[in-house]
Structure 1
Amino acid sequence: MLVFLVRNEYFCYDSGGRISYIDALKGLLIILVIIGHSNVNLIVPRAVQAIYTVHMPLFFILSGFFLHRNEAIKNQFKKSFKNYIVPYVLTCLVGIVLILAKWYLTQDMKYEGICNEYIKRILFVQIGRTSDIGPIWFLVALFWGQNILNFLLAKLSKIQLLNSVVVLAICPMMLSDKVFVPFSFFQGLTALPFLYVGFMLKTYRENIECIVKDKICLVLIGVLWAVYVLLGHVMRISFVDFPNGCTSYVVSLFASLVVLYYSKCIDFSWLRAIGRHTLLILCVHTLVLPYVAKIGSLHTDALYTSLEIIADVLISIIISFVIVKLKKVLVNGNTSKRS
């Protein structure tokens, strides 16, 4: 058990009120999300295992970092609904439109079945053991995780909060094989420890930095992470799949904190630009993925996988930036008309 004694609430913000290296880290993470949805192991062995250990856990940690303890539960619920559920619904509607367009253009009746299954996935109707809607499961899970943690923060003491987070996180690990719970609720519970660590990071940042920059601790964490990856274990929060139980949590938490600390080394302007729009890029990637995945399926080798990754990254980011630009143009146009 780690005991944190020193508090440090100092953070360096840029002129826009954002922490620049965190935006850069988010930019890197969304690129890793896209890469992780390809067969990247053909290019770099065990890459998927390494990516899955940190990419989504770090997104949850960063989300927890920006939670505010004193924010009203009702206000937090409204804000999270707007930020996560509304984009989820809009992305799903665009997905349905794309399927219907292909059905109309090809007159192929197979798209009727595809559309029906897609709608079931949107509504989280169980298909087999899961209801995989694609990468945007993260939005619904984050909605649950943030609101549950915010409720616990408002109602419980520090010790009660820690105990509740641990118990709630263990429940999905024990029940997911026996009970199907829709709407990514189990995934939200699974994310609680990462959200909690992110929230505590604001208060105990200096202590955590002392741990992850200590050479002995860094070597131990690196060896633990390397062994975990080399053994071929993949922690998938989306499927509540923890092959080593609590060990997966421990490895992921420490590896994520090391990556977070050293993310100051990747504070590049182009990564910051991408990092400011990660949720939009995630939604676009969800829609683009089924189409660019066909490139990798043409031939299972490193070349076609590389082409798939490059196409997915570029298309997802370019479309997202175009949407942001169009939004600014529309907003400026409406402002000009009013004035």
Structure 2
Amino acid sequence: MSKKRYEEVDLLKGIGIVLMIMGHIPFEKEIVRLIYVFHMPLFFIMSGFLYKKRFFSKTVIWKWAKRMIVPYFIFAVLGLSLWMLEIKPSSLFQAIQPIKSIIWINTDGMPINGAIWYLTATLIVYLLYCFIDSYVINPLIKTMLIAVLMVVGFLLGKMRIVLPMGGSTAMVGIGFFYSGLLFKKYYSLLLKKVNLNKFFGIGFISCGLVMSFIGYCNGYVSMRTGNYGNNPAVFYLAAFIVTCVLLYVASIFVNNLSDIFAVKWLKSVGRNSIVYLGMNELIINIVGSLAGKFIKLTYDYKLVTFIFSCLALSCIVEILKRVNCLKRLFFLS
């Protein structure tokens, strides 16, 4: 029996990647601040949405460690190499600092490729949830335990305590992951309700718009650095509700506008998101440097950098797909 593929999840992840690229260029700070309200929680929520139950074992640990750690170090070495060429460190101490970030505190001081913290944080989230799910049978106790972990993660961010390899962020991420898993149980019911009552769909989208505004007003958010706005509870609710609404909107596009090039391209980006995530800052750095030679640092410069970065990343993905070992390594399709 073939697995059902949620194409709207591919589309939503593609949208998340595009927003991430916009945030890394970056565009105006107001746009970036709005994007940061939900764009990283989106990926944790969708990971939970797609989670398939497994029993915690050495096989699971090895499989997921290989899936995340190997690409992580490949992207890290690429970032370090470009950093060395650009900075040309004047001392051994200066050269060692980014290496320390790569192997320890990877949410700060990373050489160019800062976004890859997500890979190690996701590995921690997945293994931690798999362990809890395997040994904690009572759903209420499981929910309470995950809620406690999320609160601890918020407190660590407030106290500026950073755990290695994105560990403190992962404690917040597991709350979003679990929320995505729970949301999947009611997703089909939501779609049926919307199909029966279009006003419900309009109200749901309106709720997402309101929550995005509330999340924006809640203050600056960056999961990487442990900033969760003025009120972490508001951040959680805004990120979760906006993501759910965006998934619903993505389903509308998949069901009605799937032949449009932009939809096809975004689904492809979502399916191959690991390469876009791991290489976008490298490409932005290179494209931005080239664009800066011809265009003043204005909005046009940012737009050109964005367009050509997306084109370059898409070309890289297509090239990697043609090398079987790399296609398997990065799970490209």
Q: Same fold (TM over 0.5)?
A: yes
Could you tell which deviates more after superposition, 108-117 or 46-55?
Answer: 108-117
In 2 relative to 1, CA 239–67 (structure 1 residues): closer, same or farther, beyond 3 Å?
same
Where 1:46 maps in the other structure, the secondary structure is helix
How far the C-alpha of 1:64 sits from its partner, in A, is 0.9
What per-residue deviation string (whole Å, max 9, x for no partner) do you get for residues 174-217 of structure 1? Answer: 12324332111011111011100121233222455559945445
Stretches of structure 1 that go unaligned for 5 or more consecutive residues are 1-12, 332-339
In the alignment, structure 1 residue 155 sits paired with structure 2 residue 152: no
Partner of 2:246: 259
1:239 Cα shift?
1.1
**Aligned residues, how many?**
308
Counterpart residue identity of residue 158, structure 1: P
| 1:116 pairs with 2:102 | no
Alignment of 1:188-337 (within 5 A): 188-209=170-191, 210=193, 213-229=200-216, 231=217, 233-243=219-229, 244-267=231-254, 268-294=263-289, 295=291, 299-327=296-324
Deviations 1:141-194 (A, max 9, x none): 100111111111112211111111111011122123243321110111110111
Cα deviation digits, residues 44-80 of structure 1 (max 9, x gap): x722122212221111111112222244443332222
Q: CA deviation at 1:293?
A: 4.3
Q: Is the Cα contact below 8 Å between 2:218 and 2:234 reproduced in 1?
A: no
Of 1, 9, 20, the match for 1:33: 20
Deviation string, structure 1 residues 293-335 (Cα, Å, up to 9, x no partner): 444697442111112212222222221221122337999xxxx
Report if aligned partners of 1:145, 1:189 keep a CA contact under 8 Å in 2. yes
Letter in 1 for 2:306: I
How far apart are the structure 2 equivalents of 1:117 and 1:301?
32
CA distance in 2, matches of 1:37, 1:271: 18
Percent of aligned pairs with the same amino acid: 22
* 1:168 corresponds to: 149
Q: 1:78 aligns with which of 62, 68, 71?
A: 62
Tell me how far apart the structure 1 counterparts of residues 287 and 43 of structure 2 sit (CA, whole Å). Answer: 24
Given that residues 8 and 247 in structure 2 are in contact (C-alpha distance below 8 angstroms), is that contact kept between their aligned partners in structure 1? Answer: no
TM-score (norm 1): 0.80
Could you say if the C-alpha distance between residues 189 and 216 of structure 1 is closer, same or farther in structure 2, counting changes exceeding 3 Å? same
After TM superposition, the runs of 4+ consecutive aligned structure 1 residues lying more than 6 A away are: 328-331
Q: Which runs of no fewer than 5 residues in structure 2 stay unpaired? A: 255-262, 329-333
Per the alignment, residue 168 of structure 2 pairs with 186
Change (3 A) 1:235 1:252: same
- Note the aligned Cα RMSD (angstroms): 3.1
Cα deviation, residue 257, structure 1:
0.6
Which SS does the other structure have where 2:151 is aligned? Answer: helix
Inter-CA distance 110–321: structure 2 relative to 1 (3 Å threshold):
farther
Q: Deviation string for 1:85-134 (max 9, x for gaps)?
A: 1110111123334445x37xx9x55486664232122122589xx44460
1:54 corresponding residue in structure 2: 38
1 CA distance for matches of 2:252 and 2:244?
14
